[in-house]
Amino acid sequence: MTPTAPTHDRRMLEALVCPQTQGPLTYDADAQELVSKSARLAYPIRGGIPIMLVDEARVLD
């Protein structure tokens, strides 16, 4: 495995939904975030693990 290879399974990310709206998420590879456009939140991915807590999400402008 190279250092730049993702440590998460892309299929697993596609199965996740926003915990606030239950809506779909999009993966932002550059920011390492899962973005909920409907909730206007971005959930971080740390060490390959999505942090699906509203309190940990970044509010989008």
Domain layout of the chain by residue ranges: 10-59
Average pLDDT of the chain is: 87
* 59 class by beta-carbon count within 10 Å (0-12 exposed, 13-18 middle, 19+ buried): exposed
Radius of gyration of the chain from its Cα atoms, rounded to whole angstroms: 11
Confidence of residue 8 (pLDDT cuts 50, 70, 90): low
State pTM to two decimals.
0.81
Question: Per-residue pLDDT averaged across 12-26, rounded?
Answer: 91
Is domain 10-59 classified as CATH 2.20.25.10? Answer: yes
* 29 class by beta-carbon count within 10 Å (0-12 exposed, 13-18 middle, 19+ buried): exposed
CA dihedral for 48, 55, 59, 13, sign (positive or negative): positive
